[in-house]
Amino acid sequence: MSAQSTVIRPNTVPKLRARKGAEPIVCLTAYTAPMAQLLDPHADLLLVGDSLGMVLYGLPSTVPVTLDMMIAHGAAVARGATRALVVVDMPFGTYEESPQQAYRNAVRVLRESGASAVKLEGGAVMAETIAFLTSRGIPVMGHVGLLPQSVNASGGYAALGTADTSGWDRIIADAVAVAEAGAFLIVVEAVSEPLAVRITESIAVPTIGIGASASCDGQVLVIDDMLGMSSRTPKFVKRYAELGVAIGEAAGRYAEEVRSRQFPSEQYTYRLKGDNRPSDGDRKP
């Protein structure tokens, strides 16, 4: 795969980091160039999430997603965006082994996709790796709280910190460690609102909530979820459209017209030159 040149867009790492406590940061996932073009005027940050494994490839979790998949989709989104910062998820198994492994793979992501930063999951255990990357010029977006790549260890996608406060200190400490290691933003996923408040107040960089209340410094949603194209809707997702229903209805109308030979009509058919018969669109009622 050929290297892509990194484009400095209006929304940069320093600009978004400086938004702590200011205007909320708008983030959405994107996986293709056409979708990136549609979202770019509205989003400050486009995240090429490893959620693509589930919403595009039909995988049961994000665990099987590969680095090549992330680079290919990252390059597509980077080509479609002109103003939003583009961040690419590091998939499971590409950064946990050592800081050196993470560095090699992060370099590939930035070089081959043209994105501006990478995102990786984990708290204090990943602080050394984040510091290693950021000290070598690779911007890192952190991720604490619910960790989808660790679903096999956690046993599911349950929200954290909702029953009591017993596990709060560990999650807050994870966020502090990631921020102090140099992450410029931190995703906080599926935690109770008071815990999200504590995390946001405890660190000097912006928090991006997903199922973590409006108390965070910004929000992110999976685009397929918010557009109504996913079969399962998590509690924290507001569906802003029902495109899944609209697509199904459009496909149904198309199928009906094909079977009844209504489509393609003359309006959508090539003719011989000199054939001046009026097309369907030219005929007056």
* pLDDT tens readout for residues 211-225: 999 999 999 999 999
d(CA 162, CA 19): 28
* 50 marked among binding-site residues: yes
**1 within a domain of the structure (yes/no):** no
Q: Write down the pLDDT at residue 3.
A: 65
Is residue 284 scored above 80 in pLDDT?
A: no
d(CA 151, CA 225): 19
d(CA 96, CA 91): 10
Nearest to 217 by CA among 15, 22, 6, 7: 22
**122 within a domain of the structure (yes/no):** yes
**7 within a domain of the structure (yes/no):** no
Residue 75, φ and ψ in degrees, nearest 5: -65, -40
Q: Write down the pLDDT at residue 285.
A: 43
**34 within a domain of the structure (yes/no):** yes
Buried b / exposed e along 249-273 (16+ C-beta atoms within 10 A): eeeeeeeeeeeeeeeeeeeeeeeee
- Band (pLDDT 50/70/90 cuts) for residue 279 is low
Residue 171, φ and ψ in degrees, nearest 5: -70, -40
* 224 marked among binding-site residues: no
Please tell me whether residues 85 and 195 are part of one structural domain: yes
* 113 marked among binding-site residues: no
The residue-averaged pLDDT of 161-169 equals 94
**3 within a domain of the structure (yes/no):** no
Residues 15-58 pLDDT 10s:
999 999 999 999 999 999 999 999 999 999 999 999 999 999 99
Residues 91-135 pLDDT 10s:
999 999 999 999 999 999 999 999 999 999 999 999 999 999 999
Please tell me whether residues 209 and 280 are part of one structural domain: no
Is residue 12 scored above 90 in pLDDT?
A: yes
Classify burial at 148, counting beta carbons within 10 Å of its beta carbon; exposed 0-12, middle 13-18, buried 19 or more: buried
Q: Write down the pLDDT at residue 282.
A: 53
Q: How far is CA 174 from CA 124, 145, 215, 251, 272, in A?
A: 5, 9, 18, 47, 70
* 89 marked among binding-site residues: yes
**4 within a domain of the structure (yes/no):** no
Least confident of 4-18, 51-65, 253-267: 4-18
Q: What is the tally of structural domains in the chain?
A: 2
Q: Write down the pLDDT at residue 57.
A: 97
Q: Write down the pLDDT at residue 157.
A: 84
Calculated CA dihedral for residues 211, 217, 221, 226, nearest 10 degrees: 90
**270 within a domain of the structure (yes/no):** yes
Please tell me whether residues 262 and 215 are part of one structural domain: no
**211 within a domain of the structure (yes/no):** yes
Is residue 237 scored above 80 in pLDDT?
A: yes
- CATH number, residue 46: 3.20.20.60
% of the chain surpassing 70 pLDDT: 95
Please tell me whether residues 194 and 266 are part of one structural domain: no
Please tell me whether residues 186 and 276 are part of one structural domain: no
Please tell me whether residues 27 and 136 are part of one structural domain: yes
Please tell me whether residues 223 and 270 are part of one structural domain: no
Please tell me whether residues 70 and 180 are part of one structural domain: yes
Q: Which domain holds residue 255?
A: 243-285
Please tell me whether residues 131 and 271 are part of one structural domain: no
Q: Write down the pLDDT at residue 8.
A: 74
d(CA 196, CA 138): 27
Please tell me whether residues 150 and 268 are part of one structural domain: no
The residues annotated with a catalytic role in the active site are 189
* 273 marked among binding-site residues: no
| Higher-scoring residue by pLDDT: 44, 10 | 44
Write down the residue that tokens 């000097």 correspond to. 204
Q: Which residues contact 106 (CB under 8 A, 6 or more apart)?
A: 90, 95, 118, 133, 138
Beta strands 185-189 and 218-221 are: unpaired
Please tell me whether residues 168 and 275 are part of one structural domain: no
Please tell me whether residues 100 and 206 are part of one structural domain: yes
